[in-house]
Chain A
Amino acid sequence: MSVNNVKSHIKVYISIFVALMVLTVLTVFVSYLELSIGYAVTIAMIVAVIKGSLVANYFMHLISEKKVIYWVLILTLVFFVILMLLPILSTLDQVSR
């Protein structure tokens, strides 16, 4: 990465920073709206995912990362989803009176 490149990156960092701040305010604001739990969770998680991907993609440079890293993260994500889903599905399918 050349020096100029870095300089243009810095602009990106600043705008990401601003976006993150805005989203933080947004999510806090929404939480005061007394939405039903379903909506509240959906919105909060959407905002969190957006914020999270901004951090990962720009601060952690995931957006321009090498292929190997993608593969590792995809694999992790698959297992992450399995780890989340299967215990929950099992609990739902529990034989119980």
Chain B
Amino acid sequence: MEKFLGLPIDASASGHEVDNLIVIIHYLMFVLFIGWGIFFMYTIFRFRKTKNPVADYHGVKSHASNYLEIMVVAFEVVLLVVFSIPLWAKRVNDFPKEKNAVVVNVVGEQFAWNIHYPGKDGKFGKQDIKLIDSDNPLGLNRSDEDAKDDITTINELYLPVNKPVIINIRSKDVIHSFKLPVMRIGQDAIPGLDIPVWFTPTVKGEYEIACAQLCGLGHYRMKGSLFIVTEEEFNNWLEEQFSNL
């Protein structure tokens, strides 16, 4: 079914939860649609004027439809209670411990994703909007102790495989939406708010960061790259970035 629906590949530990729900609900939809569809086609052909010149004043007498409706309700309750609500709660409440995870800030702007790693000390340096210019899009204050080892990139997000990631999502100007289709992750980047998301990448590869919210004329090209690499490669990459500072 996943193949049938044409979902993109799933490269995160929790992606299948989203997919399962999508698949199950599509089963429900197909069954309902096909069921009603057969009934519909049958009635149209069976009760055409030529076949049935005199209509029946009372029509359907059975209460089958009520049972059907109750079944749909029950199904929806299951979807909510068993799947959607707990999964959402997990997503927004059960964050991994910061010390076990890679923590990254992602700041959207028209029309790029600024990626900000805290560096070896694990602390993000101070930022100041007055320092913002084209070389320092985040306004990072390099004289701050915590900022000395901070690494920033534009549109390039490297993450190690099989390790939880926490990404804090912000925006400098308008609303963007940070979307990683292969991770089944999406979160609006809303100016004034700092919203965390988390996931665990499980498949190495090169993927995409999409901007899913209309953010102006460059919305369509606000695309970043996501590289899922081994832990070792990740550390090497960090090292390399650090030495380039």
A residues within 8 Å of B by Cβ?
94-97
Contacts and interface: CB of A to CB of B under 8 A. Distances in A.
B193 interface: yes
A97 B168 contact: yes
12 contacts: A94-B193, A94-B195, A95-B92, A95-B195, A95-B196, A96-B193, A96-B194, A96-B195, A97-B168, A97-B194, A97-B195, A97-B196
B221 to A, nearest CB: 29
Nearest to B196: A97
Interface string B180-200: 000000000000011110000
Nearest to A94: B193
A87 to B, nearest CB: 15
A77 to B, nearest CB: 29
Interface string B160-195: 000000001000000000000000000000000111
B171 to A, nearest CB: 13
A66 to B, nearest CB: 37
Interface in B70-98: 92
A95 B91 CA distance: 10
Interface of B: 92, 168, 193-196
A97 B195 CA distance: 6
A96 B194 CA distance: 5
Contacts of B195: 94-97
A94 B195 CA distance: 9
A91 to B, nearest CB: 10
A94 B190 CA distance: 12
A96 B193 CA distance: 7
Nearest to A97: B194
A91 B220 CA distance: 30
Contacts of A96: 193-195
Contacts of B92: 95
Given A96-B193, A97-B196, 10 more contacts: A94-B193, A94-B195, A95-B92, A95-B195, A95-B196, A96-B194, A96-B195, A97-B168, A97-B194, A97-B195
B165 to A, nearest CB: 15
Nearest to B93: A95
Contacts of B196: 95, 97
A96 B189 CA distance: 11
B108 to A, nearest CB: 16
A97 B194 CA distance: 6
Task: List the 7 closest A-B pairs by CB distance, nearest first.
Answer: A97-B194, A95-B92, A96-B193, A95-B195, A97-B196, A96-B195, A97-B168
Nearest to B168: A97
B194 to A, nearest CB: 5
Contacts of B168: 97
A95 B193 CA distance: 9
A96 B92 CA distance: 10
A96 B195 CA distance: 5
Contacts of A97: 168, 194-196
A20 B194 CA distance: 47
A90 B231 CA distance: 38
Nearest to A95: B92
A86 to B, nearest CB: 17
